[in-house]
Each structure stands twice: as C-alpha cells, then as structure tokens.
C-alpha cells in the first residue's frame, strides 16, 4: 500500500505563500494524489486532487513532480483561517481507498 | 444539496450496548467510507464500500460491522460498545476519480 510522508508541522506568516510538501515514492500509476484539511473540531475538507498534471482551484494549487514521487500543495496567500492539519493521501488504484497519515499542522502567524 | 449527513451528532453509550451510526449521501457517489478519529490523532479507516452490496475492511474494523444495501446509505453498527470505541466517527463519500466529501461527524462516548 502506497504511503505518504509529510512534515509534522510548518509555520507561515499571514498573507505569504505556503508550500506544503508530500513524498509518495511508492505511488502507482493509477493512484490519485489528494489533499484535505481539517480545521479544529471539524470534519476533513477536500482541498484539491490530481493524477499527473498540476491543478489549480479557488482554494489552492497542486504541483506534482514529473516522476509523481512527490507533490506540493500551494496556498497562495495564507490567512489565519488556513491554520489546520493538512493531509496528503493517495487513493489506491482501483479501490479508491483513502488512507490518512498524520498530516502537517500548519500554523499561520499574524 | 445536503451532501453527507450523519446522525446522531452526539451519543453516550454504556459498555455492552449496541447502536447504529447512520450515514446518507445524496450525490450518487459509489464510494463510501467510515473513519474514526481519537483525540489528537489522525483518521483511521474502519470500513469502506465501492458500491451497493460491496464492503471491505479498512485499518481498524474490529468491533464494527457495515452494510450497503443502497447507494445512498452506509450505516455503521457497533454491537458491544467498549470504552476503546470512544471517538469521533466520520462518514465520507466520493467517486472513483474525484475528491471525497465528509459528514460533520458523530461524537461517541462509551462509559
């Protein structure tokens, strides 16, 4: 089962860009890369996902390495409301199974 | 669109009691999931389903059962509640290729 590795915590200043890294060296060709975040006392919230190409949406951008062994979630301008735990996970092959790791706790300083 | 709806939001059970956590989605998603999250920890997958009539174990299935008789519903059954099952339970749904939507959770305490 493909796993992901993320830093335990990161800090950012408000209104600055944030780059959250994720390693997934055992990713298979059919695994999608998903990012979710969880604010305190709330359920996880979908952020973005992709397969091979970089992706953009209103919340963030996802940059996927050419070999797909790593990816980076980019928050273009961090706000205090972006302080959360960010999870990088893979949807496994044909099962679509989503296994969460420990995630990265992002602190945003005013 | 209601999305993923979980009931109840809160529940206190006594040791040995049984209960069913309900989960319903109105997005016609084939994939559905149950997770538990202990305080200060990440989410652990209990069971998942790729379509009506099909279920499979996740990381921590012991003490739980599920069924998937319809696309919309994916109930989670606790047969003999134990203190170790005190947790927040999240249900989610998705398609094969899109992101997952989560419910607001059920906070369960077993005393």
Q: What is chain B written as a DSSP string?
A: ---EEEE-SEEEE-TT--EEEEEEESS--SEEEEEEE-TTS-EEEEEEEEETTEEEE-S--TTEEE--SSSSB--EEESS--GGG-EEEEEEEE-SSS--EE---EEEEE-
B100 to A36: CB separation less than 8 angstroms, yes or no:
yes
pLDDT at res. A16: 96
Rounded to the nearest angstrom, the minimum Cα separation between A101 and chain B is 7
pLDDT tens digits, one per residue of A85-103: 999 999 876 677 888 888 9
Nearest to A2 by CA among A85, A71, A97: A97
For B30-79, write each residue's pLDDT tens digit. 999 999 999 888 999 999 999 999 999 999 999 999 999 999 999 999 98
* Minimal C-alpha gap between B47 and chain A (Å): 10
Q: How far is CA B6 from the centre of its chain?
A: 8
B62: how many CB neighbours lie within 10 A of its CB? 8
Minimal Cα distance from B50: which residue of A? A95
| pLDDT for position B21 | 98
Nearest CA in chain B to A96: B96
Distance (Å) from the alpha carbon of A50 to chain B's nearest alpha carbon: 9
For residue A30, pLDDT over 90 is answered with no
State how far residue B91 is from chain A, nearest Cα, in angstroms: 9
pLDDT for residue A49 is more than 90 = yes
Distance CA A65, CA A68 (A): 5
For position A76, what pLDDT does the model report? 94
Contact B94 A45 (CB under 8 A): no
Considering chain B, what is the average pLDDT of its residues?
A: 95
pLDDT of residue B98: 86
Chain A residues closer than 8 Å to B44 by CB: 100
Is residue A2's pLDDT more than 90? Answer: no
Whether residue A108 is predicted with pLDDT greater than 80 in this model: the reply is yes
CA-to-CA distance for A58 and A88, rounded, in angstroms?
A: 18
Is the CB of A98 inside 8 Å of chain B's CB atoms? yes
Sign of dihedral through CA atoms A30, B55, A2, A56?
positive
Q: What's the angle, vertex CA B92, arms to CA A79 and CA A37, rounded to 5?
A: 20
With a cut of 80, say whether residue B1 has pLDDT above it. Answer: no
Chain A positions touching B97 (Cβ under 8 A) are 32
Out of A49, A98, A103, name the one closest to residue B33 (CB).
Answer: A98
Strand partners, A13: A109
Q: What is the pLDDT of residues A50-72, one digit of tens each?
A: 999 999 999 899 999 999 999 99
Sign of CA dihedral B104, B82, B33, A101: positive
Give pLDDT tens digits for B10-37: 999 999 999 999 999 999 999 999 999 9
């Amino acid at each position: 089962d493909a796993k992901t590795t993320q830093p335990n915590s990161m800090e950012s200043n408000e209104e600055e860009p944030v780059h959250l890294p994720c390693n997934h060296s055992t990713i298979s060709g059919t695994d999608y890369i998903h990012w979710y975040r969880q604010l305190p006392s709330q359920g996880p919230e979908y952020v973005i996902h992709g397969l091979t190409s970089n992706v953009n949406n209103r919340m963030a951008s996802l940059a996927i390495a050419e070999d797909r062994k790593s990816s980076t979630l980019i928050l273009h301008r961090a706000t205090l409301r972006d302080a959360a735990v960010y999870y990088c996970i893979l949807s496994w092959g044909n099962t679509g199974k989503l296994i969460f790791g420990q995630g990265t706790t992002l602190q945003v300083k005013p | 669109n209601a999305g993923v709806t979980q009931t109840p939001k809160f529940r206190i059970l006594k040791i040995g009691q049984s209960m069913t956590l309900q989960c319903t989605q109105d997005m016609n998603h084939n994939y559905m999931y149950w997770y538990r999250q202990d305080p200060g920890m990440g989410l652990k997958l209990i069971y998942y389903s790729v379509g009506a009539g099909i279920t499979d174990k996740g990381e921590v299935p012991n003490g739980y059962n599920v069924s998937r008789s319809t696309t919309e519903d994916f109930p989670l059954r606790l047969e003999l509640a134990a203190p170790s099952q005190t947790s927040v339970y999240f249900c989610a749904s998705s398609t094969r290729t899109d992101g997952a939507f989560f419910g607001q959770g059920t906070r369960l305490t077993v005393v």
